[in-house]
Amino acid sequence: MDAQLLEIRDEVFRRNPGETEFHQAVNEVFESLAPLSARHPEYANAAILQRICEPERQIIFRVPWVDDAGKVQINRGFRVEFNSALGPYKGGLRFHPSVYLGIVKFLGFEQIFKNALTGMPIGGGKGGADFDPRGKSDAEVMRFCQSFMTELYRHIGEYTDVPAGDIGVGGREIGYLFGQYKRITNRYESGVLTGKGIGWGGSLVRPEATGYGAVLFAQEMLKTRGQTFDGQRVSVSGSGNVAINAIAKAQSLGAKVVTASDSGGYIVDEAGIDVELLRQIKEVERGRISDYAVRRGSSVSYVPDGSVWDVDATVALPCATQNELNDKHAARLLDSGLIAVAEGANMPCTAEATALFQEAGTLFGPGKAANAGGVATSALEMQQNASRDAWTFEHTEERLTDIMVNIHESCAATAEEYGMPGNYVAGANIDGFRRVADAMLAQGLI
Ligand code: GLU
């Protein structure tokens, strides 16, 4: 990083104290940008970097609700509208007890560049609440979502800001949020949220898109080395929407996926994960990964606590959460013969782990490229809503595949153009950044 970038970065750190995940995401992008800044002095003249790090708008609000025992509960809601150079703010809502401004800003910052890489007309934003849906009844989740939307509705809209799901926000929550938005505004504005149910404005393939997309991105990386998923031993972390669909796609391409996890522990299934059983337990019964071990039988071991990254694999797909895979895990995986990593989650590898993978020459697909299939399919959902149309699964999946192949291609080409062939981190950061920067330059000082 050159002196000018360092100075701007340190000023961002100073102005946003304590937001460690945001600092990490900013640092990672800045580390890639020196060659771009050198070629484009106009970016510095227009203070593009300083502006891109400052959200256009940040909303923090109280979310009061009443639990099933009749007790008043208070949570904190967030929506960070980060950048609208390329389109309406777009990005998910995360409901998890760890949510605070630093998490929402890291996610929103990543989202700007991820969304740009999709080539779709969407800006970057993110939101959520420090609410824990785990262990709550459907009625409690509904009351929380209704209260959350009672404040959020005034800030969003199909041309303004289009939230979707993330950790803790799936089809059930999007349904309650959409219902409340419709009731308050008296508008059937389908395009205000994505991840809606099929039959009321949702898109086929949206539920599968993030996991499928991560595997498609990994497949493109493997192709550059003359390899495929066939016969790979794959480790996946997490057991939510992204993980389950990544497992399904990798297995359909001939891989054996041996792991999945949740906050309680992980399983190793040497026979290959039974995806339908996993779906039943996690998505229908909202159960725990330990239940999978009990029901599946002898091929499975369940390890409470511990890390799924202690298991040998040739391909790693971290699909759980930020900073779940550290340098020790990375070193172990490299020893066990790892050849590729694609981040299904947002920033699941620590900076040190990423550096180790890159030094070892491992194929490494950063989240903002590898997991962009989810938000890209959200943009396809918006497109269907705008034209009051509903596409087939095949057509939508074809569009998703094209988008992922294009993202891979443009990251690879940009890395090459800047003298770092095979460096998808640099390729994604530079290409995502310049798409946004050029639009900001054209739109003047706002
Ligand atoms: N939360 C997802 C992400 O990290 C999807 C966002 C969306 O569909 O708007 O990209």
Residues 108 and 146 in one domain: yes
The reply to whether 412 falls in a domain is no
The reply to whether 198 falls in a domain is no
Three-class SS state of 260? strand
Tell whether ligand 1 has an atom less than 6 A from the beta carbon of residue 373. Answer: no
For residue 212, the domain's CATH number is 3.40.50.720
- Return the pLDDT at 180: 98
- Separation of CA 226 and ligand 1 centre (Å): 31
Residues 145 and 8 in one domain: yes
Mean pLDDT of 62-74: 98
- Separation of CA 218 and ligand 1 centre (Å): 19
CA angle 132, 134, 136 (to 5 degrees): 90
The reply to whether 310 falls in a domain is yes
Residues 136 and 236 in one domain: no
High-pLDDT (> 70) share of the chain, %: 100
Mean pLDDT of 27-37: 95
CA angle 302, 290, 305 (to 5 degrees): 60
- Return the pLDDT at 298: 82
- Return the pLDDT at 411: 98
Residues 236 and 168 in one domain: no
Dump pLDDT digits (tens) for 164-223: 999 999 999 999 999 999 999 999 999 999 999 999 999 999 999 999 999 999 999 999
The whole-chain average pLDDT of the chain stands at 97
Chain-centroid distance of CA 2 in Å reads 29
Residues 159 and 48 in one domain: yes
How sure is the predictor about 3, in pLDDT bands with cuts at 50, 70 and 90?
very high
Residues 183 and 212 in one domain: no
Total structural domains within the chain: 2
Rounded to whole angstroms, the Cα distance separating 48 from 177 reads 35
Rounded to whole angstroms, the Cα distance separating 236 from 308 reads 8
- Separation of CA 38 and ligand 1 centre (Å): 32
- Return the pLDDT at 1: 84
Residues 42 and 161 in one domain: yes
Last residue of a domain, which of 326, 348, 365? Answer: 365
The reply to whether 326 falls in a domain is yes
The reply to whether 68 falls in a domain is yes
Residues 271 and 167 in one domain: no
Tell whether ligand 1 has an atom less than 6 A from the beta carbon of residue 194. Answer: yes
- Provide the residue range defining the domain that includes 284: 208-365
Residues 125 and 267 in one domain: no
The reply to whether 199 falls in a domain is no
Burial of 360 (0-12, 13-18, 19+ CB in 10 A): middle
The answer to whether 193 touches 159, Cβ cutoff 8 Å, is: no
Mean pLDDT of 78-91: 98
How sure is the predictor about 238, in pLDDT bands with cuts at 50, 70 and 90?
very high
The answer to whether 161 touches 81, Cβ cutoff 8 Å, is: yes
Residues 40 and 178 in one domain: yes
Mean pLDDT of 346-362: 98
Out of 151-165, 199-213, 291-305, pick the least confident: 291-305
How sure is the predictor about 434, in pLDDT bands with cuts at 50, 70 and 90?
very high
Taking alpha carbons only, the member of 352, 273, 364, 365 closest to residue 311 is 273
Three-class SS state of 103? helix
What is the pTM for the complete model shown? 0.97
Dump pLDDT digits (tens) for 358-403: 999 999 999 999 999 999 999 999 999 999 999 999 999 999 999 9
Residues 277 and 352 in one domain: yes
The reply to whether 437 falls in a domain is no
How sure is the predictor about 299, in pLDDT bands with cuts at 50, 70 and 90?
confident
Q: Is 126 a catalytic residue?
A: yes
